Amino acid sequence: MAPVISPRQERIVDILRATPSISVVELAQRLAVSGETIRRDLQALADDGIVQKFHGGVSLHRDVQESPFQLRLRSNVAAKRRLAQQLSALLPDGASLVLDNSSTACFVAEALAERRGLTVATPSLEVARALAQAGDRHTVLMPGGTLRSSDMTLAGANALRFAAQLNPDFLVVSVAALSARGGCLDFDPFEVEFKQAVQPQAGQVIVLADSSKFDAPGLITSLPWRQVQVLVTDQPLPPELAAATAGLQVLVAG
């Protein structure tokens, strides 16, 4: 059985994919945790064969073939399922929606599979595959584009043109981080552009993000808070984030 990793361990792997090697001290600083905490995480990852440690530092194990997306599918699974069930309860039968290519969207697709009459547009083959398990219950739309094998996403200019033509009842996305100052943050430029292309035409924007995303690292603002109507999470928001999202409907999935 593949090991289940924590959200912080997932971020460690993401950092190591972007940085060939890093010192334990710098890694602890970037994640704002103690040296003891980061060493426990690294030992767990080393025991699972995901990283290899050397004196004072760590690198990704040369034999690791899993993509970051595959790792995210195994991270914080219970919380993502709760978010997906909460989202399913919000959507009326017959609604149209856009799902992004996040790992959370895959859990949403599984939760929606037993619903009926939805029209779902997505750039993610993984999301489309989960919805296809419901047979003909739903209509699934996908763009043209270049297949990105790391997360089975159809990306590129054609996918962005497709996104700009959509007028869904709901845009449902997850993000890399929730920031009191910056709004919803991501790292990948295509994922940012896809969300921004759909947002102006969407009836309602719903963001799903578990508590590991509270003030997590992020680089690009994909959706400022003024463009979001509903935030679904699994824990009460910290004070600064709660103040920044005071104008939103915030739902805590039980």
Its CATH architecture, for the domain 7-71, is Orthogonal Bundle (1.10)
| Cα 6-11-13 angle, rounded to 5 deg | 95
Task: Give CA–CA dist 125/145, Å, rounded.
Answer: 12
Under DSSP, the state recorded for 174 is -
Any idea which of 29-38, 86-95, 130-139 has the lowest mean pLDDT? Answer: 130-139
Q: What is the mean pLDDT of the chain?
A: 89
- Measuring CA to CA, how many Å separate 87 from each of 11, 138, 208, 225? 25, 17, 8, 19
| Domain ranges for the chain | 7-71, 76-252
- pTM (two decimals): 0.76
Any idea which of 31-40, 59-68, 155-164 has the lowest mean pLDDT? Answer: 59-68
- Measuring CA to CA, how many Å separate 100 from each of 32, 72, 137, 172? 29, 14, 20, 7
Return the beta strands (E) in 95-187 as ranges: 96-99, 119-121, 139-141, 146-148, 153-155, 170-173, 177-179, 183-186
Its CATH architecture, for the domain 76-252, is 3-Layer(aba) Sandwich (3.40)
Confidence label for 1 from pLDDT (cuts 50, 70 and 90):
very low
Under DSSP, the state recorded for 200 is G
Q: Taking 60 as the threshold, does the pLDDT of residue 65 lie above it?
A: no
Any idea which of 19-33, 178-192, 215-229 has the lowest mean pLDDT? Answer: 19-33
The string of DSSP codes covering 39-54 is HHHHHHHHHTTSEEEE
pLDDT: is 218 or 5 the higher one?
Answer: 218
pLDDT: is 26 or 13 the higher one?
Answer: 26
Task: Give CA–CA dist 104/175, Å, rounded.
Answer: 9
pLDDT in tens, 159-212: 999 999 999 999 999 999 999 999 999 989 999 999 999 999 999 999 999 998
